[in-house]
Amino acid sequence: MMVNIADHTVPVTVLTGYLGAGKTTLLNRILTHEHGKKVAVIVNEFGEVGIDNQLVIDADEEIFEMNNGCICCTVRGDLIRIIGNLMRRRDKFDHLVIETTGLADPAPVIQTFFVDEDMQAQLNLDAVVTVVDAKRIHQHWEADEAQEQIAFADVILLNKTDLVSEANLKTLENRIRAMNAMAKIYRTQDAAVAMDSILGVSAFDLNRALEIDPNFLGEDTHEHDQTVSSVALTASGAIDGERLNGWLAHLLQTQGSDIFRMKGILSIAGEDRRFVFQGVHMLFDGRADRPWKTHETRKNELVFIGRNLDEVKLKEDFRACLV
């Protein structure tokens, strides 16, 4: 039986990125940086990841303690079981980082936080951080995993920027933004980034406003040849809650596997509080948020990120939900 410590949940960062993008460098930075946080890191394969062995002092079963008080453990088994073991040492860490293997779709790890009640009670998903190799990404564009890792990200480190021209970086950023309008993009070399840009950012927090620029998606400059894209829907006015439910339920039943992420803030008719929601594939979490402020214009903003999205149809069906 796990103790419910909802008042004191642990923020979790999911770290993903294609092989060779710089995840290991970033992990070693997180583990050695004097950021004042004690971080526990779960890595997929201890040997494969190459955590610097000099950092490890206490090799106890699957869980390793580092000299600076951080904890590191390997997932050869079940993520939920490993986290259960880690939570027995809850006093040893303030933040949990889960590294996913470079060839994996991060969705199952993210979904664990939606479906497992113990996990929900003890942990909160802080952000999905994806490391992208600016020089080699063009070799991997066609790989589903590379596209999915970008699509799921809240924060993207565009790494190895010193190996690419400014013009190429611009093109790359535009392409990434067309795929994922929600993510914050940082240009890095050797995965050097301010720790507060990746840890404790609350990007997955339903109570935080939607930080997107829907107008960005309206530009005509993007190539829309790739199958993964972002669609932003905005409308003033109030939404009919029942119609919205019917539309979203149908959408997720028919296209859920192609919708990687969705996020929204809605003004529901008859409600004085904002309704915020987000989803990963077919899993969906929505709730009433803070009240609308008196001087605030009530509006509706939704973002979908996924494969083969029909922007015209999404806009049409969304408008049909307005009162």
Fold classified for 228-319: Hypothetical Protein Yjia; Chain: A;domain 2 (3.30.1220)
Dig out the tokens for 133 from the structure: 């190799």
Question: How far are the Cα atoms of 67, 75, 201, 223 from residue 47, in angstroms, in the given order?
Answer: 18, 11, 29, 40
Residue 53 pLDDT: 47
DSSP code for 307: E
If one looks up domain 6-198 in CATH, what number appears? 3.40.50.300
Residues of the chain with pLDDT under 50: 1-6, 46-50, 52-61, 76, 213-214, 216-225
Residue 210 pLDDT: 60
Tokens 């190539």 sit on residue: 223
For 212-229, give one letter per residue: b (16+ CB within 10 A) or e. Answer: bebeebeeeebeeeeebb
Instruction: Give the start-to-end residue ranges of the domains of the chain.
Output: 6-198, 228-319
Residue 44 pLDDT: 63
Closest CA to 202 of 277, 300, 128, 286: 128
Residue 64 pLDDT: 54
Pinpoint the alpha helices (H) of the chain: 23-32, 46-49, 79-87, 107-115, 117-122, 137-140, 144-152, 166-179, 195-198, 241-255, 311-319
Residue 58 pLDDT: 43
**Spatial separation of the C-alpha atoms in residues 65 and 281, rounded to whole Å:** 35
pTM (two decimals) = 0.81
